[in-house]
């Protein structure tokens, strides 16, 4: 997505959350695809399913992410997905048990990185909604710029 010149800081944040965090590429893509599913962002789903395959997500995993039912044998991936869903589905603050369920496998820094990543991709999803940017196959007829 091409953003205006004033969006430079947002693009810098995007580079940081994608390339300068402790989370694995698989965990990052699980989180992004969870946001895409929760926000209905066709573009992010389209773009990140390809990236997800490149980092080892299977077609079955991609389908479950799209359906909102992802599970993993990896406790870090499970915690990341659970936190993504929780933050998007329920606006109340985390309780102590929820916080511990995230911090134990992810670490405090990992939770911070994940929350920032979720916020960043929610922002992108909203920008794409406002400017009617969908996946390439759903862009027909879009005239807003």
pTM: 0.88
Q: What is the pLDDT of residues 31-54, one digit of tens each?
A: 999 999 999 999 999 999 999 999
Nearest-angstrom CA–CA distance, 47 and 39: 15
User: What are 52's two structure tokens?
Assistant: 């997800």
User: What are 106's two structure tokens?
Assistant: 């992810």
Q: What is the pLDDT of residues 60-83, one digit of tens each?
A: 999 999 999 999 999 999 999 999
Question: Looking at residue 42, what is its pLDDT?
Answer: 92
DSSP type of residue 42:
H
Residue 105 lies in a domain: yes
- pLDDT for residue 143 is more than 90: no
Query: What is the count of structural domains for the chain?
Result: 1
Residue 50 lies in a domain: yes
Where do runs of H (alpha helix) occur along the chain?
8-19, 25-39, 42-54, 59-67, 75-89, 96-130
More confident residue, 15 or 6: 15
Contact predicate 79/106, CB 8 Å: yes
Residue 95 lies in a domain: yes
Residue 145 lies in a domain: no
Q: Which domain covers residue 57, as residue numbers? A: 23-134
Nearest-angstrom CA–CA distance, 73 and 41: 27
Sign of CA dihedral 103, 54, 18, 84: negative
Nearest-angstrom CA–CA distance, 37 and 31: 10
Residue 11 lies in a domain: no
Residue 5 lies in a domain: no
Residue 58 lies in a domain: yes
Q: 133-139 — which CB contacts under 8 Å span 24+ positions?
A: 133/1, 133/43, 134/42, 134/43, 135/42, 135/43, 135/45, 135/46, 135/47, 136/46, 137/46, 138/42
Residue 17 lies in a domain: no
Average pLDDT taken over every residue of the chain: 90
Question: For residue 136, what pLDDT band results from cuts at 50, 70 and 90?
Answer: confident
Contact predicate 96/126, CB 8 Å: no
Question: Looking at residue 14, what is its pLDDT?
Answer: 87
User: Residue 32 sits in a domain of what CATH number?
Assistant: 1.20.1290.10
């Amino acid at each position: 997505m091409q953003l205006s010149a004033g969006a430079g800081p947002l693009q810098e944040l995007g580079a940081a959350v994608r390339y300068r965090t402790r989370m694995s590429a698989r965990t990052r893509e699980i989180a992004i695809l969870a946001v895409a599913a929760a926000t209905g962002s066709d573009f992010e789903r389209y773009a990140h399913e390809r990236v997800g395959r490149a980092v080892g997500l299977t077609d079955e995993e991609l389908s479950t992410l799209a359906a909102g039912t992802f599970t993993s044998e990896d406790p870090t991936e499970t915690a990341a997905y659970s936190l993504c869903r929780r933050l998007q589905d329920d606006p109340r603050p985390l309780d102590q048990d929820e916080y511990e369920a995230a911090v134990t496998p992810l670490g405090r820094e990992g939770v911070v990185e994940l929350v920032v990543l979720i916020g960043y991709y929610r922002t992108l999803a909203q920008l794409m909604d406002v400017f009617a940017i969908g996946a390439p196959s759903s862009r027909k007829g879009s005239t807003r710029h």
